Chains A and B, each alone.
Chain A
Amino acid sequence: KQEVTQIPAALSVPEGENLVLNCSFTDSAIYNLQWFRQDPGKGLTSLLLIQSSQREQTSGRLNASLDKSSGRSTLYIAASQPGDSATYLCAVIGAGSYQLTFGKGTKLSVIP
């Protein structure tokens, strides 16, 4: 059974700092990996999708990388802002399963 782990569970950084969020998964046979943002009590916003044939994706200040062989992904946030404060979730779809398996998230706080 696929398991997704996100470390750390919570992170607090000062505004302007660059930071990295980590995601690991136990079965490297994935179809894609998706990073989401969730604000308190709100829905999930898709940030980046990395398909299995890709190594990274970028959107603005966000860059996500994927290393399938080691079962790892990172989300890099450059020049963090207070508005980046949220919970970030990593999820993978296993090849042939069609189901997203989620990590439990990293709660990010960016301090002004």
Chain B
Amino acid sequence: DADVTQTPRNRITKTGKRIMLECSQTKGHDRMYWYRQDPGLGLRLIYYSFDVKDINKGEISDGYSVSRQAQAKFSLSLESAIPNQTALYFCATSDMTSGRGYEQFFGPGTRLTVL
């Protein structure tokens, strides 16, 4: 089984709809991240969380919100989706106690299309 899983893997939605992308991990890592990837722009950080009570904005947080429901679960919400949020979304984890400082492990991604 994959260590970092994302659901759904593909989603098509309409402008104005609220959607949630979910991420779960079995790696026991304390830190979790959400990124989006766009052609020509690379990966950009949306939000990150160092533990259940800690949420931080990344480079491009506008239009997004997150919830860290448990150490193993981190969800990303688009309150009112718009077409320029069409992208590939990745969840990642890292473990500060590993001695390999900040090495990040990525999920398989969610391809989101907003019509």
Contacts and interface: CB of A to CB of B under 8 A. Distances in A.
A1 to B, nearest CB: 9
B105 A46 contact: yes
Contact of A46 (B45, B103, B107): B103
Contact of B102 (A42, A93, A103, A105): A93
B100 A99 contact: no
Given A43-B90, A43-B109, A44-B90, A100 B104 contact: yes
B20 interface: no
Given A100-B45, A102-B43, A31 B102 contact: yes
Interface residues of A, number: 22
- Interface of A, secondary structure class, is strand
A42 B109 contact: yes
Contacts of A93: 102
Contact of B101 (A36, A51, A102): A51
A104 B42 contact: yes
Given A43-B90, A99-B45, A105-B42, A34 B107 contact: no
A91 B40 CA distance: 16
Interface in B20-43: 33, 40-43
A43 B102 contact: no
Contacts of A66: none
Contacts of B50: 98
B104 A43 contact: no
A60 interface: no
B107 A43 contact: yes
